[in-house]
Structure 1
Amino acid sequence: MLKDQLRDFIDSLTERGHICEDDVAMLQDEILAEGITSRLEVESLLAVDRIVTAVDAWGAVLTRLVADFVIWKRAPHGVVSNDDALWLATLLEVSGPSPNAMAIAYAILDEAGYVDVALLDFIMRGRQQARLSQIAA
């Protein structure tokens, strides 16, 4: 279940269609000051990321929040299990490997002690797609 404050925040963003600096600060300092606490929160924030425009600070905050949740709030700490890696890779790939999706995957890879191959596969597919896009352009 989403916290009411987060649900209202997401509704506001989707109505406006844009995330500004004040929104990023509010999310980071007030709404999710203790971090993300559930998969539903991750799923909701990534859905917003796919449908609105945002200031640059959004990507960094979203990346940090998701990486912290996956690495440090899921047991065992510091390890991204097969279940979590499959869930996250599937979620990140919904609209293709966007810059924020790739940043999240790389942040997790950099910080976690162990990352299941499912997330590594997502990174490789994203890199391949980026190369193919450059060739086609």
Structure 2
Amino acid sequence: MMKDQLRDFIDRVSEAKHVSDDDVTMLQGEILQGGLTSRIEVESLLALDRIVDAAESWGTALTKLVVDFVVWGRAPHGVVSNDDAFWLATLLEISGPSPNAMSIAYAILDEAGYVDVALLDFIMRGRQQARLSQIAA
């Protein structure tokens, strides 16, 4: 289930096609002060990330919100299970390994005590794609 305030935020930002610093402050301070509480909220914010331009603060906030949910909001704490890693890697892969998607994956790798190989595979594919892009340029 998604909070009504978060749904309203996503609708408004989607229409504006931009996330401002003020939007990020509102998201962190008022709408999601307790963090993300469900996969649908994570999925919605990652979908939003793919369709809007955003202030620099957005990537940092999005990364923190997703990491806190995946690493610390799910039991057992500090462990990213196969199910969670596969789910998240699939979401992050949708439009290719964007800078925010890679930032989220690396932050989870840094913070979790254990990360299933599904997320590590996403990181490796993203690094390989970045190297191929540099060679082609």
Q: Measure, in 2, the Cα distance between the counterparts of 1:32 and 1:106.
A: 22
Residue 20 of structure 2 corresponds to residue 20 of structure 1: yes
Instruction: Identify the residue that residue 123 of structure 2 maps to in structure 1.
Output: 123
TM-score, reference length from structure 1: 0.99
Matching residue's letter, 1:55: A
Deviations 1:87-136 (A, max 9, x none): 00000000000000000000000000000000000000000000000000
Instruction: Identify the residue that residue 111 of structure 2 maps to in structure 1.
Output: 111
Q: Measure, in 2, the Cα distance between the counterparts of 1:21 and 1:61.
A: 10
Q: Measure, in 1, the Cα distance between the counterparts of 2:48 and 2:73.
A: 22
- 3-state SS of the aligned residue for 1:47? helix
Q: Measure, in 1, the Cα distance between the counterparts of 2:66 and 2:94.
A: 16
Deviations 1:24-57 (A, max 9, x none): 0000001000000000000000000000000000
Matching residue's letter, 1:87: W
Instruction: Identify the residue that residue 132 of structure 1 maps to in structure 2.
Output: 132
- 3-state SS of the aligned residue for 1:43? helix
Instruction: Identify the residue that residue 43 of structure 2 maps to in structure 1.
Output: 43
RMSD over aligned CA atoms reads: 0.3
Instruction: Give identity over the alignment, percent.
Output: 79
Deviations 1:55-83 (A, max 9, x none): 00000000000000000010100000000
Matching residue's letter, 1:92: L
Structure 1 moving runs of 4+ over 6 Å? none
Gaps of 5+ in 1: none
Residue 60 of structure 2 corresponds to residue 60 of structure 1: yes
- 3-state SS of the aligned residue for 1:35? coil
